[in-house]
Each structure stands twice: as structure tokens, then as C-alpha cells.
Copies of this chain bind each other. A is one copy, B any other.
């Protein structure tokens, strides 16, 4: 999440609204186009992710699936890790071998194990875009102000109880390792140690690509679980520069990757920020689906 960008959804806070499917009351009047930054309500993406039972249920169920899968998976020693082998394409995957290595589950941190409530509210209330200097402070000082996501503490505890090492691979900065260790501990997720169970941007020359760090982890562990909120938490092949949106979609839904979702690769919902923020109108809405009412 190092280059997190908070955009449209954070710019307009508030605006009265009616609950959907709750009561057939008429929806509210159109709110002003430039609502004040201190408006009464958070933007919808933040309301949904951080506040709704609908999102909490989805996150809890994902954590429950991870535990179910992991406990079943280690009953017989797997031949392969779920980390792609060097040179293997995500559409025709091949994997790092497990050998007799100990088991590990590898997770992103931000919006995968923890929700970053502190800076998300800060940015949204002020109607400001992501500020890397403020984020850097957050990495250093956020302990106690981030929360474990619903079911995440139970999930990591269950994996550890089953003898699986829980490892974090995040694009938080290596320079702020202590802050991130403290943040994870304060959220109730236990001990993570930089270089052993915590891998950070700057640990190698790969920049924001997590592939190199995944390879490092897979050289020591049989990785049975990868968990994240963005496709880059599974392979950097999804994040190739200038990869067209349609090709990124095709890769993520190819036969090869479809076999992995919920079966080693686990994706958490995050509509608040992500690489899809590049998408334009015609990427999200095919032109043949345009519709207008008659007035």
C-alpha cells in the first residue's frame, strides 16, 4: 500500500442518503456538488469497508476459509508451494517446491490483516488525497490506531496453533520496521520480526514488487497460503507497467489463476484504494451498456 492513492471517494464526505432495501422511502435530494470536508458521513467506500456488517461478514468468511483450507492442506504434505516459480506465468502456473520446508502463510498487512482507520479517517475528513509524508508518519506512530480486521486475530492464532508460521509481506517501508511490528502487535496479531516474519519494501532491490520477497520466503518455507487485497500480493505479473485493463482482467480470471482463488490464494475486499484507480469510464462500463432514460 506504499503508493496508496485516496481519490474520488475521499474527496466528498457525507451527503444524506437512504438505506437500500430497508424501506421504500424516497431517496434524498441531490446533495451539493462540493460538500464540506467535515460532512456528516464518510464516503461510501469507507462506510462499506470499515463500517458495514456486509463487509465484516465477507472478511470474516475469508478468514474462516483460510483456516479451513490450511488445516486441510497440511494433513498431507503438499508437493508445491503456492508461490509461483521464477518464469512461470500466472495463466499457466508452476510453483516453488515444498520439499521438507516448514509451513508458512504469507499475508499483506494493510487492508488484509489490519484496517488503517487512523489515516483513512484523517484523509477523508479533510477531503485530501493520499500524502506519502503523512503515511510515513503513520507507519512510524500508528500502533494502537489500526485494528485487526474481523476474524484476523482468530485466523492467525489458528494457523499458528496448527504449526504454520504467519509471515507478513508488505510495501510498508523497511525504514519503519519497528513501527509496523508495533502496529501489528498492538492490533492483537502477535509478534512479527523484520527479516524473519516481516518483509518490507526496501528489503531487496525489487521496489514495490513483492516477487523477490516471496521467493526469499519460499526458499525457506512451504508457503500454503497467500493472502492480500490486491493482485500484486500474488504475483507482480498483474502489475506490469502499462498492462491494459482487459489483459489484467483476463490474467486474473484465467483458468490457471481461477484454480488458485480460495485454494491457496485468498483475496480480501478493498474498494477504498487499489491499482484499479487507473480505470476510466469505458474500462468499468462497456460502451454497449450505456443507457439513458427518456425524459
A269 lies within 8 A of chain B by Cβ:
yes
Say whether, besides A7-B44, A19-B5, A289-B145, A274 and B24 are in contact (CB < 8 Å): no
Residues of B within 8 A of A277 (CB): 17-20, 41, 44, 47
Complex: A252 Cα to B281 Cα, angstroms: 34
| A133-168 contact mask (Cβ, 8 Å, vs B): 1 or 0 | 110011001100111001000000000000000000
Say whether, besides A9-B44, A47-B276, A293-B138, A208 and B31 are in contact (CB < 8 Å): no
- The interface size bin for chain A is 35 or more
Closest Cβ neighbor of A108 among chain B residues: B21
A42 lies within 8 A of chain B by Cβ:
yes
| A64-85 contact mask (Cβ, 8 Å, vs B): 1 or 0 | 1100000000000000000000
From B22, B47, B64, B207, A232 is in contact (CB under 8 Å) with B22
Complex: A233 Cα to B53 Cα, angstroms: 13
Complex: A207 Cα to B120 Cα, angstroms: 37
Nearest Cβ in chain B — how far from A89, in angstroms?
16
Residues of B within 8 A of A118 (CB): 289-291
| A102-135 contact mask (Cβ, 8 Å, vs B): 1 or 0 | 0000000000000001111110010111111110
Show the binding face of A for B, using Cβ within 8 Å: 1-9, 11-31, 33-35, 37, 39-58, 60-61, 64-65, 117-122, 125, 127-134, 137-138, 141-142, 145-147, 150, 171, 201, 207-208, 229-233, 238-239, 241, 245, 248-249, 251-253, 257-258, 261-262, 267, 269-281, 283-286, 289-294
Could you name 12 residue pairs across A and B whose Cβ atoms are closer than 8 Å? A4-B20, A8-B42, A17-B277, A24-B207, A49-B271, A53-B248, A53-B253, A54-B252, A55-B271, A137-B293, A145-B291, A269-B271
